[in-house]
A and B are shown apart, each in its own frame.
Chain A
Amino acid sequence: MTGTTERTRPMRPSLTRRRELVPPGRLAFRRFLRNPAAVVGAVVLILIVLAVVVGPLFVPWDPDVGELIDARQPPSAEHWLGTDLIGRDELARILAGGRVSLTIGFLAALLAVTVGTVVGTLAGWFGGVADAIISRIIDILLSVPAVLVIIVFAGILGPSLPMLIIVFSALLWPQSARIARSVVLSVREQEFVQAARVLGSRTRYIVLHHLIPGVLPSVIVAATILVADAVLSEAAVSFLGAGVQPPQASWGNMLNDSKSLTVLTLMPWLWLPPGLAIFATVLSTMAVGDGVRDAIDTRRNA
């Protein structure tokens, strides 16, 4: 009898507040849109990626070949950003260099985050000896000076794009592994994971439906920071001459090309654009990462 009275009186949560009915994902997106720095960052980042991907189609110059006769021209109608020391179009090189820098940045970050998430999740999930070993490896890798290692590897293997991506990701994954591990450690102890076990869910289901969705937001944030990290590292390594090799352009080696005093003082069009490109990319990915973190912070989910 109680059952029937209960059933005829279903309780409805207040419908007047629309916010209550929105899924957490969309709520998070709305919060992201309310963060001006993050939105500006996202727009800038999208513009940079678009320019780098489709831009070269509209620039008639070959980024790797130049006419010496055109060397060191300041910006003009023909060469919008001028030409470099051997007459290559600076705009074409910025766009081509951006492809290289962003490819390295995104691929290295993606690889690092994937490896880091898997390794960190395993460490957090299994704990014990596996965790102890992985954690020590992470500690060791985090204490390695990245630039030095790359210079050494460039010396042994010869510098190449795949080498750079692999070495960067090998050095960057521990950061995301550490984050993934700590998140898994906390999610693993949540009651809904215990509940899943009692409900008979297999480990694969628990990992796919409870663990990964819990880990993903923090990992996405880590990824944006890694992209910025990798772009900066590429610039630093290429500036030192151990990274992307001429004639192929990258933002880092374009800065390297402009390190003479005459260029620095007299030809700002050669170092200002790549410098600004690195600056804008790093700053906007950081802003996006911050925005994502604030948006998915469940403590604001009230």
Chain B
Amino acid sequence: MSALLTVDDLEVHFTARSFTGRKRVIRAVDGVSLEVAEHEALGIIGESGCGKTTTGRAIVQLEPATGGSMHYRGKDVTHLTGSARRAFNAHVQFVFQDPMSSLNPRMTVADIVAEPLRAYGRWNGRAGRDRVSELLDLVGLPPEFGSRYPHQFSGGQRQRIGIARALALEPEMLVLDEPVSALDVSVQAQVLNLLMSLREAQGLTYVMISHDLDVIRHVTDRVAVMYLGVVVETGPADEVLDDPVHPYTAALVSATPPSSPDEKRARIRLQGELPSASNIPSGCRFRTRCWRADEICATVVPPLSPKGDGNRAAACHHPLDLAAPRLREGIATP
């Protein structure tokens, strides 16, 4: 498997001015490296403020990278403008979290789905209309819905419209920003099923951003855990979530409510809360909330280094032990 998208040491910093006029640099993404293989689904998890959404937005050029580089099929895509950006976005599309605000309330569904076709000159009368019907059908909406407006639909249907629009240009990769977190539980399942079947049918590559570990575990192959602007752990989704190496991942997993009353989770309760992205702790960023932290964590930044059989990596001076290999054999297939 070759890397479709490579992100190297990506930085997205924002400068904010406080009302006293002092400049503060918010390091939303502060050195993120990722690789996404073709046809793979990569999940990015973490709590709000960890930079996962900003990373996703930077990939599709919605936020300008202030450092690092990104390559798509070997070509530099760090800073794209004009036609280069348009050419890139034809391959890499984005699905927004909120299906209400990301659809123009004054446009019909057909016009919304047709917007990318028009933008790329792929709209010519009948064929264009047929394509819109085809796209609506693909996401499970009857084509006659095209003449309606977004407010006439439920949340789940609106998210389908957003997905149809993202698929209009036949992209290779979708960046999905919390695609189901605005939806009711029963509707989430519909949209997740759609995303899974679309990926299979269209051979898509996904980067899925979510705070919901169950969603990520279910849909993605590999996962990157982010904390305060950096990736702290990566690896196959079920391995990382069943058997975390980084203390933060372990805490995140243990804080996630179980799926049934019988499921017992280790109770790790983190102290304190997420530090501000404009005032990042020295050394390991997680040390202020970590129960394993010692002097070295305050001074030396832990690099993301391989753990276990090399599929996995974590950035920690005092990683947790991997569980007995016996437990993991059944899962670790190349």
Contact = CB atoms under 8 A, between A and B. Distances in A.
Query: Does chain A touch chain B in the assembled complex, meaning CB atoms less than 8 Å apart?
Result: yes
A210 interface: yes
A298 B106 CA distance: 10
Contact of A6 (B61, B140, B162): B140
Contacts of B104: 190, 192, 209-210, 213
Interface in A189-221: 190-192, 194-202, 205, 209-210, 213-214
B54 interface: no
A143 interface: no
Interface in B145-161: 148-149, 151-154, 156-157
A128 interface: no
Contact of A20 (B85, B89, B96, B152): B152
Contact of A201 (B108, B119, B140): B119
A13 interface: yes
A191 B94 CA distance: 11
Contacts of B200: 3
Interface residues of A, number: 33
Contact of A200 (B62, B90, B108, B194): B90
A11 B119 contact: no
B156 to A, nearest CB: 7
A136 interface: no
10 contacts: A10-B142, A13-B154, A21-B148, A192-B102, A195-B162, A198-B60, A198-B62, A200-B120, A205-B118, A213-B104
Interface string A1-19: 1110011011111000000
The 10 closest A-B pairs by CB, nearest first: A3-B197, A191-B102, A199-B116, A6-B140, A200-B119, A2-B193, A201-B119, A192-B104, A191-B101, A200-B86
Nearest to B150: A192
Nearest to A201: B119
B122 to A, nearest CB: 10
Nearest to B97: A191
Q: Which of A7, A11, A213 has the most CB of B within 10 A?
A: A11
A190 B120 CA distance: 22
Given A2-B193, A3-B200, A199-B93, 20 more contacts: A3-B197, A6-B194, A7-B140, A10-B141, A11-B141, A11-B157, A12-B142, A13-B152, A20-B152, A24-B105, A191-B96, A194-B62, A195-B96, A198-B60, A199-B116, A199-B166, A200-B85, A201-B116, A205-B115, A205-B119
A160 interface: no
Interface string B61-90: 110000000000000000000000110011
Contacts of B61: 197-198
Nearest to A7: B140
Nearest to A3: B197
Contact of B115 (A10, A194, A201, A213): A201
Interface string B28-52: 0000000000000000000000000
Contacts of B331: none
A73 B245 CA distance: 102
Q: Which of A20, A200, A205, A214 has the most CB of B within 10 A?
A: A200
Interface string A120-145: 00000000000000000000000000
A192 B101 contact: yes
B213 interface: no
Contacts of A3: 140, 194, 197-198, 200-201
A197 B156 contact: no
A301 interface: yes
A23 to B, nearest CB: 6
Nearest to A5: B193
Given A10-B141, A197-B62, A210-B104, A1 B153 contact: no
Contacts of B119: 196, 199-202, 205
B181 interface: no
Contacts of A194: 62, 96, 102
B89 A198 contact: yes
Nearest to B168: A199
Contacts of A7: 137, 140
B98 A191 contact: yes
B193 to A, nearest CB: 4
A6 B115 contact: no
A198 B98 CA distance: 15
Interface string B102-114: 1111111001000
Contact of B197 (A2, A191, A210): A2
B26 interface: no
